[in-house]
Amino acid sequence: QVQLVESGGRLVAPGDSLRLSCVGSGRDFSALSMGWFRQAPGKEREFVSAILWNGGRRFYTESVEGRFTISRDNAKNMVYLQMNSLKPEDTATYYCSAAKVLSLVYYSDYASYDYWGQGTQVTVSS
């Protein structure tokens, strides 16, 4: 079993930056591929970004490409999402997720992930 806990979400203004963190426990974190999803009110949960277990590949949804950066520190059991140039449409609850084996084809699929955190709220508003 894996426990994931997100932090770092808060209210920010458009154009600001924010870094989300996720700490994992309970299983060899370095063997897990990690992802970030988000869900806005009234919308389905959507893929944001993912990083393979060894950090060798990173994936982003088109709307955040060039603004968001995913990274991980396996020594600390941490994964991060650095978000720059935030927009009101980035407002959502952000969820950290972990996959025991992540498909390079279905990395953006919700069903590809085995473990989920409780989420952290990001609000972008002036």
Supply the pLDDT for residue 45. Answer: 96
Supply the pLDDT for residue 57. Answer: 93
- Geometric angle at alpha carbon 26, from 39 and 115, rounded to 5°: 25
Q: Can you tell me the mean pLDDT for 97-106?
A: 92
pLDDT band at 115 (very low <50, low <70, confident <90, very high): very high
Supply the pLDDT for residue 17. Answer: 98
Q: In the predicted model, is pLDDT for residue 121 greater than 90?
A: yes
Largest CA distance in the chain: 41
Q: In the predicted model, is pLDDT for residue 117 greater than 90?
A: yes
Q: Provide DSSP, 43-66.
A: S--EEEEEE-TTS--EEE-GGGTT
Q: Can you tell me the mean pLDDT for 61-82?
A: 97
Supply the pLDDT for residue 27. Answer: 74
pLDDT in tens, 14-24: 999 999 999 99
pLDDT in tens, 26-57: 778 999 999 999 999 999 999 999 999 988 89
Q: Provide DSSP, 86-125.
A: --GGG-EEEEEEEESS--SSSTT-GGG--EE---EEEEE-
What's the chain's average pLDDT?
95
